[in-house]
């Protein structure tokens, strides 16, 4: 039996919005010669970072299988996604239902005993990262990634490999072509890289690239402006207890009602709010109604604006959760795909729900100023998505009770964050 061929797969994926326009990149390397044997990259439409990273892994492992169909291999996968590395190594459970099929697909490509996984810093994964970004750039222009035009590669020139009398091509473009053909043949008709291709109004318009810059576009008219008001205090707020949509539904405390009244006075003085929408939870409806009564407007309830379901953590402090559910809390802090204990929602699931609600509201209230009364996570998510910031930015924003943040959405698709955590109306 021939000796196993040693190989390295470096893979990455990215999403500009998470979820948003996404793509992956993967490269197969001969560790003995540092020669690039194959590259793969593809735009996959709207997806999350973790989906794109898994797709990059699948592409890299598929490339190995196609390059060496009859040769035993030992593959070292190097990625900067701790989630994928830990899950594929079996140290973390795959809890998110959207990740399980991807992890299972990756595990089927090569024998498990022939693949090991290693986490590396992002700075050491630049080749795959560049491929993923090239794929996203091409996709947003309505094109496919072109290996011949790629500028991705190692930071330093690789040592040339000695000529091989036989075997797979050592040219990355040739390897990429072979990989693309194999993956296209394996993809069922009517599906995209991430599953069924949507049609009709829900289909992503990947070819439309937002124009950027002050002089890049004509006057686009008034944006849809979301004035994001966090609800006032409840009895749980001062104690910093998890209060989502899966536990009790507390109303405003005396302090919270006072905060809502002060916010109503401020909006009445400004005279800019034209519509009011609210989370269905009581603390938001009470806050919204206080403003609506002052402005003479009605409140429209939007289910998608509800707070995260924190599962078994509802009503507990952070310290209590750490004591009772320490490993689950660590997973939750490390990955947006991890959900709170007991069937709660992950940040990725909340982002998908909130972004769908955002899109509906932008269409419904184009050119108007809307007071959106909701919770910490939905507001932070809207701000994060507008900025194109990573999921960990959720932990780096402060949102006080009854604070105001503002995001404007223009007709070309460009959002503008104008205010964050303004509490001047409460002083």
Is the predicted pLDDT of residue 149 greater than 90, yes or no? no
Of 403, 414, 119, 107, nearest in space to 262 by CA: 403
Question: pLDDT category, 397, cuts 50, 70, 90?
Answer: very high
290 CB contacts (<8 Å, ≥6 apart)?
257, 260, 261, 263, 264
What are the tens digits of pLDDT across the range 359-377? 999 999 999 999 999 999 9
Please, what are the domains in the chain? 5-149 (3.30.420.10), 224-426 (3.40.50.1240)
Residue 123: per-residue pLDDT: 87
Choose among 326, 355, 353: nearest CA to 340: 326
283 is in an annotated binding site: yes
376-387 and 347-364 are packed helices; what angle lies between their axes, rounded to 10 degrees?
80
Backbone angles phi, psi at 186, to 5 degrees: -80, -15
Best CA proximity match to 358, nearest among 221, 201, 225: 225
- Whether the CB-CB separation of 242 and 401 falls below 8 Å is answered with no
Q: How confident is the model at residue 182 (pLDDT cuts 50, 70, 90)?
A: low
Per-residue pLDDT band at 378 (split at 50, 70, 90): very high
Question: Considering the entire predicted model, what is its pTM?
Answer: 0.56
What integer is the mean pLDDT of 379-404?
93
Tell me the C-alpha distance between 301 and 115, whole Å. 50
Question: pLDDT tens-digit profile of 63-109?
Answer: 999 999 999 999 999 999 988 999 999 988 887 777 889 999 999 99
- List Cα–Cα distances, 206 to 137, 140, 182, 339, 416, in angstroms: 10, 5, 24, 30, 21
190 pLDDT tier (thresholds 50, 70, 90): very low
Round to whole Å and give the CA distance between 58 and 56: 5
pLDDT on residue 58: 96
Average pLDDT value for the chain:
85
State the pLDDT confidence band at 13, using cuts at 50, 70 and 90: very high
Catalytic residues: 231, 307
d(CA 356, CA 167) in angstroms, rounded, equals 49
């Amino acid at each position: 039996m021939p000796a196993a061929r040693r190989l390295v797969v470096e893979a990455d994926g990215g999403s500009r919005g998470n979820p948003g326009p996404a793509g992956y990149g993967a490269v197969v390397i001969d560790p003995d010669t540092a020669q690039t044997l194959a590259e793969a990259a593809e735009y996959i439409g709207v997806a999350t970072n973790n989906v794109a990273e898994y797709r990059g892994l699948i592409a890299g492992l598929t490339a190995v299988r196609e390059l060496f169909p009859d040769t035993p291999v030992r593959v070292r996968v190097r990625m900067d996604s701790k989630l994928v590395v830990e899950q594929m190594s079996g140290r973390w459970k795959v809890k998110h239902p959207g990740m399980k099929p991807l992890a299972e697909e990756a595990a089927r490509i090569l024998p498990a005993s022939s693949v090991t996984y290693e986490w590396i810093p992002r700075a050491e994964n630049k080749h795959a990262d560049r491929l993923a970004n090239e794929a996203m750039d091409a996709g947003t222009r309505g094109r496919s990634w072109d290996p011949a035009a790629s500028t991705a590669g190692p930071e330093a020139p690789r040592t040339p490999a000695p000529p091989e009398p036989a075997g797979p091509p050592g040219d990355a473009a040739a390897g990429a072509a072979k990989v693309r053909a194999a993956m296209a043949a394996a993809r069922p008709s009517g599906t995209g890289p991430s599953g069924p291709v949507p049609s009709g109004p829900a289909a992503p318009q990947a070819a439309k690239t937002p124009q950027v810059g002050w002089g890049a576009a004509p006057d686009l008219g008034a944006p849809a402006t979301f004035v994001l008001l966090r609800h006032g205090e409840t009895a749980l707020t001062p104690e910093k207890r998890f209060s989502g949509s899966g536990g009790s539904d507390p109303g405003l405390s005396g302090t919270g009602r006072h905060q809502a009244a002060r916010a109503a006075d401020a909006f009445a003085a400004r005279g800019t709010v034209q519509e009011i929408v609210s989370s269905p939870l009581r603390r938001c409806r009470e806050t919204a109604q206080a403003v609506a009564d002052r402005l003479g407007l009605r409140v429209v309830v939007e289910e998608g604006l509800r707070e995260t379901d924190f599962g078994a953590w509802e009503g507990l402090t952070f310290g209590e959760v750490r004591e009772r559910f320490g490993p689950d809390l660590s997973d939750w802090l490390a990955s947006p795909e991890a959900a709170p204990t007991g069937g709660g929602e992950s940040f990725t699931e909340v982002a998908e729900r909130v972004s769908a609600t955002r899109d509906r509201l932008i269409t419904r209230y184009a050119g108007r100023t809307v007071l959106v009364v909701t919770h910490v996570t939905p507001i932070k998510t809207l701000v994060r998505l507008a900025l194109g910031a990573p999921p960990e930015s959720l932990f780096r924003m402060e949102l006080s009770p009854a604070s105001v943040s503002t995001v404007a959405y223009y007709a070309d698709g460009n959002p503008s964050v104008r205010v964050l955590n303004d509490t001047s109306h409460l002083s």
